[in-house]
Amino acid sequence: MSGGPARTAGTSWAEFGRQLRSLRRAAGLTQLQLGLRVGYHHSAVSKLEAGLREPPAGLVSRLDAVLETGGRLAAIVAAPHEVPRRPGRFPADPALFAPLPGADDPGGRETPDPAMWPARLPAEGLVCPLHGTAGCAVPGPGELPGLLGEPGPAGGPGPGWATGTGRGMGTGRGAGTEWGAVSEPGVGRVRATVAEAELLHGLTAVLACLIREAFRYGGRVAAVEGLLRALARWAGEVNSAGRLPYGQLRLGAQYAQVAGRLRMERGQTGVAMAWFGHGLRWADAVQDAPARATLLSDMCTLVRLDGDPSSMLGYAQGIGAVDGRRRWTATLSDLYQARGHALAGDAAQCRRHITLARRGFARLGPRDLLEAPWMAGAEGAMRVDSAIGGALRDLAVATGDRAAARRAVDATARSRAQVPPQMRGARLLLTLRLADSWACAGDPGAAVALASEVLPEAVRSRESMITAELRGLHSRLTGKWADLPEVREYRRRLLDAAK
């Protein structure tokens, strides 16, 4: 969900630069020679050695390989950043860590399915919270409960699996000291750093695994939120010890986004917005621009479900303001602005932002696709056509423009044709939207024929976006063509499906 490593403003990379200069000289290489071997200009090597720029994650691994350091440079990047303590001051505002929505729920603590466990990060759009897209390996599913201090999957989930009571989350003395203590010198300090990284890797893998399970277990909301609360408590303890909880906050923003999406799918918009808000604050605390952009996009979706175009446009413009250098965020901003203007009935602005979004999508570069892999290839085209089709359908509803509705049919049909078989929810949603687009275009027969295929599944669904699509389609069909035989048959099938 978010990109490469970043640290708070003012952080010095002087130690990394000193080590790089020492290792380069020991290898007998000039800055020019080293730059040629790792694929960077010698001026970039010079700036790194001077501590003037942040080293990209991919470059760090190449430098370690070329200089045969055994991972020393990566360890410097991975090491938690300590902030000098002043009396009564914390690295981050303590208000970031509480209060959190809801309460700990004893349900939903089943261990993730090992068959869906990722081998490396990124996975499911989730990057390593410490090393970004560097390709970090993750501990196996049987190792994570050991890091948490609880029984493994073979022995059943322990009481701390989803509530954070395992000793691995602590930062104080005693059983939990090795997982985050900042006062332990020497070898213990290295062990603490490695263990903390492993735990963050493992918790990222858990979240990827839960996403791969496609939320098929209702109790997974409890699992995600329980681990999220544990993560927030851990971040608070690290912060109280005088160290910025960088990895914990980055990962917390990712967990908060998934928790908010799960709540949104259930129609619990208030709790969803609360989680998105927490995720946004955590992302801002560590300057995680990609996480901020994707959280704002989910907030756009949430207020759209409430029929609030003004708030949607505000959040959509916020996506574009995240970072003007990132084309993918500009494209995302244009897609959501198009839909916001459609809700408001502004045809000219809707079409303008659709054009800008298509142009931006065609110009996405490797860095964009590294940070937003879901915008690459066929999946990206599917998502863009889906958003454009939704905007044009909304515009047709607001203005009665049947030409816009026919364009919505084309865009939505293209998107639906590219949906992979495993994305059943997306296919169901797009089928209902396509049917509604046909209704807006003045063809109730085509709308009923499409909708009839999925009515039982749509009625059973608890996802708020699918419910909203079905409600809109129903109002269009029964409001204009209630007396048509095919619409009466549609209503009969809808009643049967509801039983």
pLDDT tens, position by position, 341-373 = 999 999 999 999 999 999 999 999 998 988 898
**Sign of the CA dihedral running 483, 487, 491, 493:** positive
Give the model's pLDDT for residue 188: 37
Give the model's pLDDT for residue 242: 87
- Cβ of 262: how many Cβ atoms within 10 Å? 22
Give the model's pLDDT for residue 259: 93
Q: What is the mean pLDDT of residues 42-47?
A: 85
pLDDT grade, residue 80 (50/70/90)?
A: very low
Amino acid at 344: A
Instruction: List 137's β-bridge partners, or say none.
Output: 120
Please report, to the nearest 10 degrees, the dihedral formed by the alpha carbons of residues 298, 302, 304, 308 taken in order. -120
In terms of Cβ atoms closer than 10 Å to its own Cβ (0-12, 13-18, 19+), residue 443 is middle
pLDDT grade, residue 339 (50/70/90)?
A: very high
DSSP 8-state assignment for residue 173: S
- Cβ of 348: how many Cβ atoms within 10 Å? 8
Which residue do the tokens 């049909």 mark? Answer: 413
Give the model's pLDDT for residue 445: 95
Q: What is the mean pLDDT of residues 17-24?
A: 89
pLDDT grade, residue 149 (50/70/90)?
A: low
Q: What is the mean pLDDT of residues 106-116?
A: 66
> With 60 as the cut, is the pLDDT of residue 5 above it?
no
Phi, psi for residue 243 in degrees, rounded to 5: -125, 135
Contact 105/271 with Cβ under 8 angstroms?
no
For residues 5 and 90, the model is more confident at 90
Phi, psi for residue 128 in degrees, rounded to 5: -65, 130
Give Cβ neighbours of residue 33 (< 8 Å, ≥ 6 apart): none
Give the model's pLDDT for residue 44: 84
For residues 436 and 147, the model is more confident at 436
Two structure tokens written together for 161: 């699996």
Give the model's pLDDT for residue 212: 79
DSSP 8-state assignment for residue 125: T
Give the model's pLDDT for residue 211: 84
Q: What is the mean pLDDT of residues 69-79?
A: 69
Q: What is the mean pLDDT of residues 63-79?
A: 75
For residues 89 and 292, the model is more confident at 292
DSSP 8-state assignment for residue 180: T
Give Cβ neighbours of residue 27 (< 8 Å, ≥ 6 apart): 34, 66, 67, 68
> With 50 as the cut, is the pLDDT of residue 158 above it?
no
Percent of the chain exceeding pLDDT 90 equals: 45
Two structure tokens written together for 416: 């639906």
d(CA 207, CA 354): 33
Give the model's pLDDT for residue 78: 57
Q: What is the mean pLDDT of residues 288-296?
A: 93
Two structure tokens written together for 418: 């590219």
Give the model's pLDDT for residue 38: 84
What is the separation of C-alpha 51 from the centre of its chain, rounded to a whole number of angstroms? 31
Give the model's pLDDT for residue 177: 29
What is the separation of C-alpha 174 from the centre of its chain, rounded to a whole number of angstroms? 35
Mean pLDDT is lowest, of 141-155, 313-327, 361-375, for 141-155
Mean pLDDT, all residues of the chain: 81
Q: What is the mean pLDDT of residues 49-64?
A: 75
Percent of the chain exceeding pLDDT 70 equals: 79
DSSP 8-state assignment for residue 161: T
> With 80 as the cut, is the pLDDT of residue 180 above it?
no
Amino acid at 341: H
> With 70 as the cut, is the pLDDT of residue 169 above it?
no
Q: What is the mean pLDDT of residues 40-44?
A: 84
Residues composing the chain: 499
pLDDT grade, residue 15 (50/70/90)?
A: confident
Beta strands in 151-294 (DSSP E): none
pLDDT grade, residue 243 (50/70/90)?
A: confident
Mean pLDDT is lowest, of 81-90, 364-373, 375-384, 429-438, for 81-90
Give Cβ neighbours of residue 4 (< 8 Å, ≥ 6 apart): 56, 57, 127, 132, 133, 370, 371
Q: What is the mean pLDDT of residues 215-235?
A: 79
Two structure tokens written together for 317: 């413009």
In terms of Cβ atoms closer than 10 Å to its own Cβ (0-12, 13-18, 19+), residue 193 is middle
d(CA 185, CA 180): 12
The verdict on pTM exceeding 0.85 is no
Among 252, 224, 280, residue whose Cα is nearest residue 102 = 224
Mean pLDDT is lowest, of 107-121, 237-251, 385-399, 447-461, for 107-121
The pLDDT tens digits for 378-401 are 999 999 999 999 999 999 999 999
Q: What is the mean pLDDT of residues 89-107?
A: 71
Give the model's pLDDT for residue 146: 61
pLDDT grade, residue 330 (50/70/90)?
A: very high
Give the model's pLDDT for residue 140: 84
